Amino acid sequence: KAAIKITSITKPLNAYITVTDEIAKKHAENSDLRQKNRSLLGELDGIPIAIKDNFCIKDHRTTCASKMLSNFFPTYDATVYQRLKDAGAILLGKTNLDEFAMGSGTIDSYYGPTKNLWNSNENSWNIAGGSSGGSAVAVISGSCYAAIGSDTGGSTRNPASYCGLVGLKPTYGLVSRYGLIPLVNSMDVPGILARNVDDVVLVLNSIAGQDEFDSTCLQKEYVSIDILDTINISNFRIGIPKEYKEKNLSPEVQECWDTVSQYLCEGGASLSTVSLPHTNYSIMCYTILNRCDVASNLACYDGMQYGYRSDEWSSVYDMYKKTRSEGFGKIVKERILVGNYFLLEENYEEYYVKAMKIRRLISEDFNTVWNSNIDLLLTPTTLTEAPTYNDFISMDNQAQCSIQDYCTQPANMAGIPAVTVPIKLSKNGLPLSLQLMAPSLKEEVLLTVAK
């Protein structure tokens, strides 16, 4: 009952696709037993959480916000959920996203868009960001303590930034992707959204570490992160990459960036301007790599084994065609078409292989900076505050993503950890945030400075 009541707070904002009240009920029924035997109590016992609806939960609908999976009930749990459950967390529900996590606004969902809590006025509401917008709104509205998102090009950090939350994209491979329905396999990571750094750390410590079910998960034992309350930042060297001063950067975000830089200097950190020369190519390369992975990852949705199947068809080929035409939304279909074009034999070298080479250069940019003794990079998370829905939909999906993901996407190319931190409210009363990035597996340093 509580789960339904709590999640209904977010109903007008459309944060949840499915409320998992039976899971919460079962948990409550077991709580007496756990209270009696305190050794059974986990780190997150009784803590309500939400999970983006592209993570599989056994016997619970997992839709990816697509008609294609509107009736899909997985037979297993994603590792992330399994670990949260083992730690005692209570799943309140599955949150809204852009269809198959393709987007930066949570506006392209089969279940309708998610509105930003900071301004959900009927006629001129702001987007929550995306694609994990449902997870962000679930947390900022107070329905749960933390939520899991996914991050392929910024999908955890973007909505965290627009909603005023801390949002962590961990190092690629630190957290298992088992049970996360893939977008771009070599970039996807489960992300964490919470109100403060300590809550993020608590969740990260519960979900990170080796997993025999995910061959891309790092085979290294995870050592829990511990962040002190009193932090001395005087030993940190922080880089300000000049390429992030993009022409569309709003003066308010620029001001935040300057103020926080100043603040870090006053705290004793040393700041220097650095260069990541290939930043500008990141979105272009991502676009190609994303479309190719989308074309191949979504080939399995043919109406045959699971998911939606068209009602009327005259042959197997016709069934594939109608199922895919009716089951996928416009953006998904566009991306599949473009991906198949890039993957044609005559195009493969020119697009896919070239994008992979440039991806390497983008990663090497970061290595050069780390090798010059920089510990962390400080950048904006997004170029502006959350756009209004009307402004946002006046752009096509490609334009939306190239503006939204400019600052977040390169970290996915390189696989490095990044966190967004809320700084202050804009003149319009919307959150403004900054991003910190660190070398692979330096989550402790990253989160210490973030805190």
Of 22-30, 150-158, 212-220, 316-324: span binding ligand GLN (CB under 6 A): 150-158
Q: Does 420 bind ligand GLN (CB under 6 A)?
A: no
Q: CB 236 → ligand GLN: shortest distance, Å?
A: 28
- Regarding 405 and contact with ligand GLN (CB under 6 A), the answer is yes
> Which position among 101, 127, 403, 445 is part of the footprint of ligand GLN (CB under 6 A)?
101
The least CB distance from residue 97 to ligand GLN, in Å, is: 8
Binding string to ligand GLN for residues 289 to 328, with x set by CB under 6 A, is what? -x--------------------------------------
Residues 163-192 that bind ligand GLN (CB under 6 A): 183
Q: Rule CB under 6 A: choose which of 126, 131, 143, 297 binds ligand GLN.
A: 131
The span from the CA of 49 to the CA of 51, in Å, is 7
Give the per-residue contact string, 56-95, with ligand GLN (x = CB under 6 A; - = no).
Answer: ----------------------------------------
- Write down the least CB distance from residue 60 to ligand GLN, Å: 21
270: Cβ contacts below 8 Å, ≥ 6 apart: 236, 237, 238
Query: Is residue 103 part of the contact set for ligand GLN (CB under 6 A)?
Result: yes
The length of the chain is 451
- Whole-angstrom distance, CA of residue 398 vs CA of residue 411: 19
Q: Which is nearer to ligand GLN, 214 or 334 (CB)?
A: 334
Looking at residue 182, what DSSP letter applies?
P
Give the neighbor-by-neighbor strand order of the sheet with 16-19. 16-19, 90-95, 48-52, 146-151, 189-194, 166-169, 418-425, 431-437, 376-380, 237-241, 270-274
- Closer to ligand GLN at the Cβ: 3 or 331? 331
């599955």: which residue's tokens? 94
- Segment (H or E) for 336: helix 330-342
- Catalytic residue numbers, as ranges: 52, 131, 155
DSSP annotation string for 75-119: SS--HHHHHHHHTT-EEEEEE--SGGG--SSS-S-TT-PPBPTT-
Minimum separation from the CB atom of position 78 to ligand GLN (A): 16
Q: What burial letters (b/e) apply to 236-263, b meaning 16+ CB within 10 Å?
A: bebbbbebbeeeebeebbeebbeebbee
Q: Which is nearer to ligand GLN, 207 or 401 (CB)?
A: 401
Our CB check for ligand GLN shows the closer of 3 and 166 to be 166
CB of 223 to ligand GLN, least distance (A): 27
Total residues at the site for ligand GLN (CB under 6 A)? 15
Instruction: Check residue 108 for interaction with ligand GLN (CB under 6 A).
Output: no
Q: CB 183 → ligand GLN: shortest distance, Å?
A: 5
- Site for ligand GLN (CB under 6 A): which residue of 3, 84, 102, 336? 102
Binning the chain into helix, strand and coil, the percentages to the nearest 5 are 40, 15, 40
Spell out the SS3 assignment of 381-441.
Answer: CCCCCCCEHHHHHCCCHHHHHHHHCCCCHHHHHHCCCEEEEEEEECCCCCEEEEEEECCCC
Kindly list the residues in this chain that would bind ligand GLN in the complex (CB under 6 A): 101-104, 131, 150-155, 183, 290, 401, 405
